[in-house]
Structure 1
């Protein structure tokens, strides 16, 4: 009887001891009930919202006022971005073009002098008559008016040239933005040019083509059509008095240098466009972004991170606003620069960069949103 009582007491003490050990979470090689084991460690969790900032610059090109369709209007007879006219003892280079007029009232020829060599005068002839002759200087901008007495219905011949400046002399003019317009009655389109610089395309924000249409001066029987570099960006029959058309690199095939915009219509429709202009917006200055996140890891945390069965990642949600897309992440001695995609991004982080005291730094330019940023270590396999 005493022996059986001793056995019962021994079993009871043994069971009580094991339960006590289990309750203290002491690992003795037994697993009662398959208790939960740690499978992830979140070291940083932060949402910043919108970071940084940028200011926009705007450059505007004015196209003026003109008519589209049947009626009197300013019709472009000639245009070239760069031209050279010269005259010497053995050669002569000039600008010559024709315009077939219906009922011409006047014309205007304009250009800017980029450079000059020699002492000869620049001249303009219309239908064989010299209407302008003058010695011009570099950076001069000229607008020469041609009156109706020098124009005629049918073919009109224009010539821009220069004198030698002496019997054995020579002269050369470098000209920019050479344009000729004739105020004439005919079914006409209007074509113009605007320049975009490379830095404006690189930091492009947007562009708008705007104009006014007086209601009482238009015959709206066919759509007004606008294309940029051969791409249609607008076609409407019923237009508002104030109109704005969005222009982008994708819908207009914008490129560095000169781009062409054409206004047209058909049949007996007629539109008067006032104050037509192109406003290009681009990033002017940007504000830098710098954020530091400090965090500590215990010895137990470091042991978890250093396990071969864990992977360390930096995850975040990113949305680009303006400026530079590149972001630089620095974690202790480790750093990397990326241009994130809009939406969720994942970076793999080497486990050896972690220590007890840590700093995660974020640097960037421009404006963007950064949310749901999480630096974690997760078990990938047992």
Structure 2
């Protein structure tokens, strides 16, 4: 695989920014990891998910309440992923590694795998954000085309219509197909998967088996095949749609930029931090309800610059980042509402669905 590097020789921006952020925590006398706000979310979301699961299996529900509660379970599982798993897998939930490792396994409880996700997300996506040819998060072609350098297919003409169905099915595919493919191929897109220990292999197969037990076998035994099938579908649709939309709004919108790498090594002529600012956007930063649910992932700029800092600190950190961007004359991407971000994503995906103009032959 081609090697991608950044021109960090004069990385004065991030040095200055990091100094100001470190100063903020020192003056406040607080840790960069989670606080009572994150612990309160944990004590809200986990019992809520367990409660919804029990209600769905034990209460005599009619069709509409059944699908609504199934969707609510899917959204609650997304909330666990956004808040607990995401911070834990980045090592920012707690200052204790064993706590982060343990809570990172909530991803396995959702059907995924923490070992694979950490390499896919923490290492590849956060290092090579929006670099076509490396970043697995934008490697959905030929199903959907997410940047200009990806191959165009006739079906992309209507991708702005069908992509919502793709998003809705994404968590189902992630659990049952994508993880298995990455595990079997020992590769994440074009990057070799780090070698798994015997324990990691055991965790992979053990958690996948337990997922089938708790999400398939027990529900089918309790409520029957048809009720389970409908509920399972709506749970995954709510989960997949919410997870996909939140992550797409951060990078695949009109405001963000993309790079591409082929077979040859490439040097990106920016320091890493400036690349993050060019490829990442915030949305709805003033909406406290959205911020609470998505675990601060509407502050994606701050997250990409300081992934080891818990999301509970991002609203304050954003003021420092924005000020430093103004000082260095660097554009800071932020959309005022989630609706504006969704509209930008929709327009961008629709534009990518148009057939590229053929180059004139001289």
TM over 0.5: no
Higher RCO (CA 8 Å, separation ≥ 6 residues): 2
**TM-score bucket of the superposed structures, by smaller chain:** under 0.3
Structure possessing the higher radius of gyration over alpha carbons: 1
More strand by share: 1
Superposition TM-score, scaled by structure 1 size: 0.18
More helix by share: 2
